[in-house]
Amino acid sequence: MMPGESLSEIPLIEQVRVINQRFRSCLSPLLLLCVFWFAACGSAPPDSDWRDPVDAWQSDDVGGEQDAVGSVVGDGWRSGPGAEAIVGPVITVATFNQHHLSDTICQSGQCGPNDFERKWSQAEFDARIAERAAAIDALNADIIFLQEVETQAVLDALNAALDDPYPVAILAETGYSASLDVAVLARGALVDSREYSELNDSTYRFSRRFLRVDLDIQGERVIAFSAHFKAKYQDQAGRRIAEAKTAHQIVTEVAANHDGALVILGGDLNDTPDSEPLMALTGDGLLKRVAEGMDILDVYTFVYQQRRQEIDHLLIAPTRGGRYVNESVHSLHDEGEWVGYGGSDHSALVGQFEMR
Are both 223 and 148 inside the same structural domain?
A: yes
What's the rounded mean pLDDT across residues 66-94?
79
| 0.85 exceeded by pTM | no
Within a domain: 65: no
- Alpha-carbon distance of 172 to 195, in angstroms, equals 7
With a pLDDT cut of 70, the percent of the chain lying above it is 79
Confidence of residue 89 (pLDDT cuts 50, 70, 90): very high
Find the range with the poorest average confidence among 127-136, 200-209, 277-286, 301-310.
200-209
- Alpha-carbon distance of 185 to 187, in angstroms, equals 7
For residues 267 and 96, is the Cβ–Cβ distance under 8 A?
no
Confidence of residue 237 (pLDDT cuts 50, 70, 90): low
What's the rounded mean pLDDT across residues 300-323?
96
- Alpha-carbon distance of 240 to 227, in angstroms, equals 11
- Alpha-carbon distance of 59 to 255, in angstroms, equals 17
Task: Kindly compute the dihedral angle of the four CA atoms of residues 170, 172, 173, 174, in this order, to the nearest 10 degrees.
Answer: -170
Please report the pLDDT score of residue 71 as a whole number. Answer: 41
Are both 143 and 230 inside the same structural domain?
A: yes
Give 262-285 pLDDT, tens digit per residue. Answer: 999 999 999 999 999 999 999 999
Within a domain: 70: no
Strand, helix or coil at 255?
helix
Are both 118 and 15 inside the same structural domain?
A: no
- Alpha-carbon distance of 99 to 119, in angstroms, equals 14
CATH of the domain at 84: 3.60.10.10
| Residue of higher predicted confidence among 28 and 319 | 319
Within a domain: 262: yes
Confidence of residue 21 (pLDDT cuts 50, 70, 90): very low
H or E element, residue 215: strand 205-217
Confidence of residue 146 (pLDDT cuts 50, 70, 90): very high
Domain count of the chain? 2
Are both 27 and 152 inside the same structural domain?
A: no
- Other CB atoms within 10 Å distance of the CB of residue 23: 13
What's the rounded mean pLDDT across residues 298-311?
95
- Alpha-carbon distance of 7 to 328, in angstroms, equals 43
Within a domain: 348: yes
Are both 33 and 82 inside the same structural domain?
A: no
Are both 85 and 135 inside the same structural domain?
A: yes
**For residue 171, pLDDT beyond 80:** yes
Find the range with the poorest average confidence among 14-23, 203-212, 236-245, 248-257.
14-23
For residues 330 and 298, is the Cβ–Cβ distance under 8 A?
yes
As beta bridge partners, residue 349 has: 95, 331
Are both 190 and 271 inside the same structural domain?
A: yes
Confidence of residue 74 (pLDDT cuts 50, 70, 90): low
Q: Where are the alpha helices (DSSP H) in 309-352?
A: none
**For residue 60, pLDDT beyond 70:** no
What's the rounded mean pLDDT across residues 256-265?
98
**Alpha-carbon 160 to chain mean position:** 25
Within a domain: 67: no
Q: Where are the alpha helices (DSSP H) in the chain?
A: 12-23, 29-42, 122-139, 152-160, 239-257, 276-282, 296-299
Domain containing 218 equals: 75-355
Are both 80 and 28 inside the same structural domain?
A: no
Are both 116 and 227 inside the same structural domain?
A: yes
Please name the residues in contact with 292: beta carbons below 8 A apart, sequence gap of 6 or more: 273, 282
- Identify residue 232 by its one-letter amino acid code: K
| Residue of higher predicted confidence among 326 and 237 | 326
Are both 212 and 254 inside the same structural domain?
A: yes
